[in-house]
């Protein structure tokens, strides 16, 4: 547990080479400066130097695209760096140890919360699933962890907070957790263990599990953060540009209140439609956020927006294919439909509650 968390940072400040401290301070200052001037910079370049007409749709869409690309890229780099460094003090092994021996109910709650903070990528879903079950953690509790992990994503938390404020962010965290906890609990009640591929329970864990981040120096953790930023940005930039591009198109051409008229609160199928479109779409929190922002701006209600976002990040075809290795079709179907129904319910609930 990161009890003495500021201590390694202080120690690092005292002992590390001055060059590294200066570099870090320079990067932080550059980040703050860019974030500050981003908006006025593009206005000056496009409407000042290039003399484009801000009333024109194309130039306004272009401004939105440039401004948003830089803004999202900056936010992402900052958030990923911070989260990676902080999370290097946690590990899946420790999470598993915390969950071992918990009963359902309290176990689901704990698994959901740990799913949010544990460093985890969907490419490790199958080994983690086997590792949890082989350690005797109930199926429903394991499912709560596996649902919460992509659903309540730390990048989405950071972006939502920067773009929409703390109220929407808390709603997102709370409802995502509720879905993960309840879905896991329901799946556990349904006694679906027989639909787990039988070899999972026969897997012998030979060897001692290695703590993935034990005994790293603070400098190594900072370096991990920087590498993670580079590797994630490299991975997601096409999704990001497509997302921002679609966002810019919506921003420029879709009339204000378009979605309020056609898919607003008055349309009982709005949320259902959004989730139906969202599930086959495969993107990540970063790619979907510019679209979310533009959809909301044009009057799509917040509940529908959240449901759309959750269905895009939490349920996808690649994940289905991965999990098929360990789950037989009936359980896979139950997992997808219970999660999907949960997302739809959350959408309607918040459309009714949020004004």
- Paired tokens of 3: 């009890």
Report how far residue 54's alpha carbon sits from residue 60's, in angstroms, rounded to the nearest whole number: 6
Select the span of 17-25, 126-134, 165-173, 178-186 touching another protein (CB under 8 A).
126-134
Residue 213 found at the interface with another protein (CB under 8 A): yes
Residue 134 found at the interface with another protein (CB under 8 A): yes
Q: Which is nearer to another protein, 155 or 200 (CB)?
A: 200
Task: State which of residues 120, 185, 259, 308 lies at the interface with another protein (CB under 8 A).
Answer: 120
Task: State which of residues 166, 234, 269, 355 lies at the interface with another protein (CB under 8 A).
Answer: 234
Task: State which of residues 52, 66, 86, 126 lies at the interface with another protein (CB under 8 A).
Answer: 126
Which backbone phi and psi does 192 adopt, to 5 degrees? -100, 15
CA atoms within 13 A on the CB side of 141: 25
Residue 6 found at the interface with another protein (CB under 8 A): no
Long-range contacts of 23-27 (CB under 8 A, 24+ apart): 24/222
Residue 218 found at the interface with another protein (CB under 8 A): no
Q: Which is nearer to another protein, 297 or 319 (CB)?
A: 319
Task: State which of residues 4, 56, 235, 257 lies at the interface with another protein (CB under 8 A).
Answer: 235
- Cβ of residue 28: shortest distance to another protein, in angstroms? 24
Burial class (CB in 10 A: 0-12, 13-18, 19+), 347: buried
Binding mask 165-194 for another protein (x = CB under 8 A): ------------------------------
Residue 1 found at the interface with another protein (CB under 8 A): no
Task: State which of residues 78, 119, 247, 342 lies at the interface with another protein (CB under 8 A).
Answer: 119
- Cβ of residue 322: shortest distance to another protein, in angstroms? 7
Task: Count the residues of the shown chain that bind another protein, applying the rule CB under 8 A.
Answer: 37
CB atoms under 10 Å from CB of 53, counted, come to 11
Residue 267 found at the interface with another protein (CB under 8 A): no
Residue 227 found at the interface with another protein (CB under 8 A): yes
Report how far residue 336's alpha carbon sits from residue 215's, in angstroms, rounded to the nearest whole number: 39
Helix%, strand%, coil% for the chain, nearest 5: 75, 0, 25
For residue 307, give Cα distances in angstroms to 205, 219, 294: 38, 39, 15
**In which residue are the tokens 């086997």 written?**
130
Helices 106-117, 92-99: axis angle to 10 degrees equals: 170
- Cβ of residue 236: shortest distance to another protein, in angstroms? 12
Bridge partners, 196 (sequence order): 327
Binding site for another protein (CB under 8 A): 91-93, 96, 119-121, 123-124, 126-132, 134, 199, 203-210, 212-213, 223-224, 227, 231, 234-235, 322, 325-326
């Amino acid at each position: 547990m990161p009890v003495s968390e500021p201590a390694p940072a202080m120690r690092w400040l005292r002992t590390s080479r001055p060059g590294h401290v200066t570099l870090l301070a320079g990067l932080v200052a550059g980040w703050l400066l860019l974030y500050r001037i981003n908006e006025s910079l593009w206005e000056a370049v496009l409407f000042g130097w290039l003399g484009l007409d801000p009333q024109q749709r194309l130039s306004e869409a272009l401004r939105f695209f440039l401004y948003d690309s830089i803004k999202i890229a900056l936010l992402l780099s900052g958030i990923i760096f911070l989260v990676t460094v902080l999370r290097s003090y946690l590990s899946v092994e420790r999470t598993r140890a915390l969950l071992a021996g918990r009963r359902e109910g309290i176990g689901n709650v704990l698994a959901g919360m740990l799913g949010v903070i544990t460093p985890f990528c969907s490419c490790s879903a199958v080994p983690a699933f086997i590792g949890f079950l082989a350690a005797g953690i109930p199926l429903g509790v394991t499912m709560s962890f596996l649902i919460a992990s992509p659903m309540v994503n730390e990048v989405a938390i950071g972006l939502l907070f920067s773009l929409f404020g703390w109220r929407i962010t808390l709603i997102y965290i709370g409802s995502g957790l509720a879905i993960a906890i309840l879905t896991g609990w329901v799946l556990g009640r349904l006694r679906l263990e027989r639909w787990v591929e039988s070899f999972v329970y026969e897997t012998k864990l030979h060897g001692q599990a290695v703590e993935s981040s034990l005994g790293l120096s603070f400098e190594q953790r900072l370096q991990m953060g920087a590498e993670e930023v580079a590797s994630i940005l490299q991975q997601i930039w096409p999704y990001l540009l497509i997302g921002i591009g679609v966002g810019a198109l919506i921003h420029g051409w879709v009339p204000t209140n378009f979605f309020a008229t056609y898919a607003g609160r008055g349309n009982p199928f709005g949320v259902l439609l959004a989730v139906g479109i969202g599930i086959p779409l495969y993107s990540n929190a970063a790619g979907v956020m510019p679209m979310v922002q533009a959809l909301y701006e044009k009057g799509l209600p917040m509940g529908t927006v959240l449901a759309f976002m959750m269905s895009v990040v939490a349920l996808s075809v690649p994940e289905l294919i991965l999990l098929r290795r360990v789950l037989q079709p009936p359980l896979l179907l139950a997992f997808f439909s219970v999660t999907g129904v949960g997302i739809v319910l959350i959408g309607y609930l918040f459309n009714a509650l949020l004004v």
